[in-house]
Amino acid sequence: MKHLLFSLAAGAALAAPAVAQQGAQTGSLIERSRGQAGTPETIGYAPDAWERMTVAVNIDGRGPYRFIVDTGAERTVISSELARSLGLSSTGDVTLASVSDVRRVPSVHIGELGVGRRTLSGIQAPALAEYNIGAQGMLGVDSLISQRVTFDFTRRELTLTNSHIDDDRYAPGEIVVRGRTRAGRMLLTNAYLDGQRITVIIDTGSQISVGNAALRRRLERARRLGQTRIVTLTGVTGDIVTAEYSVARRLQVGGVHIDDLPIAFSEVRLFALLDLEDRPAILLGMDALRLFDRVSIDFANRRVRLAPPTSLSSPPTRMAGLAPLRAR
């Protein structure tokens, strides 16, 4: 049985009233340097053991610390070990949606979190075990909502650009997919998996792509469900759920086709939070995203840009997605 890492830190809307009592903000990253305001900023990143992206952040002027960039998580999270070493003050318990359920977890106050020349102030961050996060913390969409975030997998770079700066210049072969946002996440509805229309959520915090039970039922009825085996998914709170691992023949997003995509079927909590329990949906994880040269997510303008490998021809582009799973 394979053991896979799957991050989910959702439920800011369920947070305890301590948010207001501590004066926490819910804004996104803002630029400190007015002279450079509006210009894109490129930051190097390092992949962790599960190929997720980690970037250097500063907390209250100290650091750097490695945080995972997680577009599937609503909240920014810090490891309890780092919070203790920094002496961050407790802000009480908050309600957090994990992989399998909703639970109360401790939280701390971060005065200022810095990524490059951008900062986010007044954060009430859930404090979770570093072993379960897989890093010293995690940047959720609460910190990225006003940014266009570009992941360059060939150069291992992350570029942040203010979303209000529109850029209609596209690289050759780049595919633009328009979506919509819900609870801060980017949802793409112009997508199909083995002939079934689905909703795609871009999730850079998950090692593997995860489909919901509604998608599994559709595939089974259409006799498109391949052979399955059992795997386990571990969430950031340490909870573990079982899933059925299979391989989809083809995922189509815009003009891109990904063939032989590994997918784990499980009714993780995020599908319910996004009101997608009864509609076929998939969390597109790092196993699929790292097949592209670049992926750009513009939350404010509800637009995703996909740059297939430069060695491939113009769209429709087909990429082979089958890769060995990494055991934890």
pLDDT of residue 249: 93
pTM of the complete model: 0.80
pLDDT of residue 327: 31
Q: Where are the strands (E) in 51-203, listed by range?
A: 53-59, 62-69, 77-79, 90-97, 102-115, 118-128, 137-139, 147-152, 157-162, 175-178, 180-182, 185-193, 196-202
Question: What Cα–Cα distance (Å) separates residue 153 from each residue in 144, 185, 220, 272, 293?
Answer: 19, 21, 34, 31, 5
CB 189 within 8 A of CB 75: no
Task: Locate 230 and state its tokens.
Answer: 């059992």
Alpha helix ranges (H) inside 73-227? 80-86, 130-133, 213-221
CB 106 within 8 A of CB 80: yes
- What number of other Cβ atoms are within 10 A of residue 14's Cβ? 13
Type and span of the H or E element at 18? helix 18-21
pLDDT of residue 87: 97
User: Would you list the DSSP string of 252-298?
Assistant: EETTEEEEEEEEEE---HHHHHTT-TTS-EEEE-HHHHTTSSEEEEE
pLDDT of residue 171: 66
The parts of the chain modelled with pLDDT lower than 50 are 1-5, 8-26, 34-35, 313-317, 322-328
